[in-house]
Amino acid sequence: MTLDGSLTKHDPAARPGTPAGRGPSRRPGPGPGRGVRTRRALRPWLLLTPALVVLAVLLLWPIVRVVMLSFQDYGLREINTGESNYNGLDNYQEILSDSFLWQTVLPNTVLFALTCVALTVVVGTLVALLLQRLGPVWRVICSTVIMMAWAMPAVTGTYVWIWIFDPLDGVVSGGLDNLGMIEPRETNWFTDRWSFYAIATLNVVHHGFPFVAITVFAGLLTIPKELPEAALMDGANAWQRFWRITVPTIRPVFMVVTILSTIWDFKVFAQIYLMPGGAGSNPEVLNLGVWSYIQSFSRNEYGMGSAIAVLLTVLLLGITVVYVRALFREKEGDTL
């Protein structure tokens, strides 16, 4: 009976110690069986099987084949007979003991790639900041123009830069000749190691900065407007706002574009091979990718070329692992 004298309805489901209006507590039933859990775990892999098979055929098997060839003395005779001629680690020992690798090829590859990555990220970031400040119309115009450089094939872009720096008919040589600074017939930009790679750097940066610019610009759009506005009210200048707000906020974006640029620039081939002297006539300008190609297809030493390609792949994997670990460490720090 309640305080107002009315009778309460008896709830047969109620039990002593059970809150009013609730039924008896029930234990959860048994979960799905092991067979059901196994099928659920395998379902994503079954859906991915066609794509994984295609990747294995197109990517995995060629890599395995290159590694196998790197342990062989493989040339035209082995191609004709179909035989294998394993020589163990002889190819790697010959390459690693060659001073040409340490004094010419490796410095060309590493220094060139690091310079291109740094300049590509810097130029792309500056262009992204410019796009952020432009109005809608000019933003579309500038984005379209810079994407034309990204859409241009590497072969076409390389021949354009070769024409620009042509010793006799190039724009640069002609302009400097008119100023009396050089003698075109005595100046060849492609024979000197440093000027050769300076032109190659301009080519690679010109072709790669649009990707960085568009990607970083997309990251800039995710930054809340309140953050730079508050920093501006606190008296922070443009550099402080960029370094203290923009960079930490979109740091994963910078890590991604840096990783991709590093992979692309370490394995640059067309921009070097197509330039005068880059196909082997000037050994001083070879990098790992071109050296591997020349050993394989110009000298028919496919085992040696494969070993060089494996060394380049290992170098790229090591650099990528460092970048990826740094990226995950950054994410873990943000989570904590």
Mean pLDDT of 136-156: 89
Q: How confident is the model at residue 238 (pLDDT cuts 50, 70, 90)?
A: confident
Task: Please indicate, yes or no, if residue 331 is contained in any of the structural domains.
Answer: yes
Ordered DSSP codes for 178-201: HTTS--GGG--TTTSHHHHHHHHH
Listed range (52-56, 89-93, 262-266, 297-301) with the worst mean pLDDT: 52-56
Helix, coil or strand: residue 132: helix
Mean pLDDT of 229-252: 85
Is the pLDDT reported for residue 334 higher than 70?
no
Q: How far apart are CA 262 and CA 115, in angstroms?
A: 10
Residue 178: burial class (beta carbons within 10 Å; 0-12, 13-18, 19+): exposed
What pLDDT, on a 0 to 100 scale, did the predictor assign at position 179?
A: 83
Task: Please indicate, yes or no, if residue 89 is contained in any of the structural domains.
Answer: no
Is the pLDDT reported for residue 9 higher than 50?
no
Task: Please indicate, yes or no, if residue 254 is contained in any of the structural domains.
Answer: yes
Residues 6+ apart with CB under 8 A from 206: 149, 157, 161
What pLDDT, on a 0 to 100 scale, did the predictor assign at position 10?
A: 47
Residues 6+ apart with CB under 8 A from 217: 127, 128, 131, 132
What pLDDT, on a 0 to 100 scale, did the predictor assign at position 224?
A: 87
Q: Which domain range does residue 121 map to?
A: 103-335
Which backbone phi and psi does 238 adopt, to 5 degrees? -65, -45
Is the pLDDT reported for residue 294 higher than 70?
yes
**Longest alpha-carbon distance in the chain:** 117
Residue type at 332 in one-letter notation: E
Average pLDDT, the chain: 85
Q: Is the dihedral of CA 229, 231, 236, 237 positive or negative?
A: negative
Of the CA atoms within 13 Å of residue 42, those in its CB half-sphere come to: 6
Highest mean pLDDT among 27-36, 166-175, 272-281: 272-281
Task: Please indicate, yes or no, if residue 274 is contained in any of the structural domains.
Answer: yes
Can you name the residues that pair with 86 across neighbouring β-strands? 72
Mean pLDDT of 263-274: 92
* Residue closest to 261 by CA, chosen among 59, 115, 107, 151: 115
Ordered DSSP codes for 231-300: HHHTT--HHHHIIIIIHHHTHHHHHHHHHHHHHHHHT--HHHHTSTTTTTTSGGG--HHHHHHIIIIIS-
Can you name the residues that pair with 293 across neighbouring β-strands? none
Question: How many folded domains does the chain comprise?
Answer: 1
Q: How far apart are CA 269 and CA 289, in angstroms?
A: 6
Residue 171: burial class (beta carbons within 10 Å; 0-12, 13-18, 19+): exposed
Task: Please indicate, yes or no, if residue 98 is contained in any of the structural domains.
Answer: no
Mean pLDDT of 14-30: 50
| Percentage of the chain modeled with pLDDT above 70 | 88
What pLDDT, on a 0 to 100 scale, did the predictor assign at position 32?
A: 60
Mean pLDDT of 144-162: 90
Listed range (2-16, 168-182, 226-240) with the worst mean pLDDT: 2-16
Task: Please indicate, yes or no, if residue 225 is contained in any of the structural domains.
Answer: yes
Q: CB neighbours (10 Å) of residue 48?
A: 11
Is the pLDDT reported for residue 18 higher than 60?
no
Task: Please indicate, yes or no, if residue 330 is contained in any of the structural domains.
Answer: yes
What pLDDT, on a 0 to 100 scale, did the predictor assign at position 7?
A: 44
pTM here is 0.79
Is the pLDDT reported for residue 285 higher than 90?
yes
Is the pLDDT reported for residue 36 higher than 80?
no
Task: Please indicate, yes or no, if residue 12 is contained in any of the structural domains.
Answer: no
Q: How confident is the model at residue 61 (pLDDT cuts 50, 70, 90)?
A: confident
Give the DSSP H or E segment for 137. helix 136-151
* CATH number of the domain residue 181 falls in: 1.10.3720.10
Q: CB neighbours (10 Å) of residue 18?
A: 13
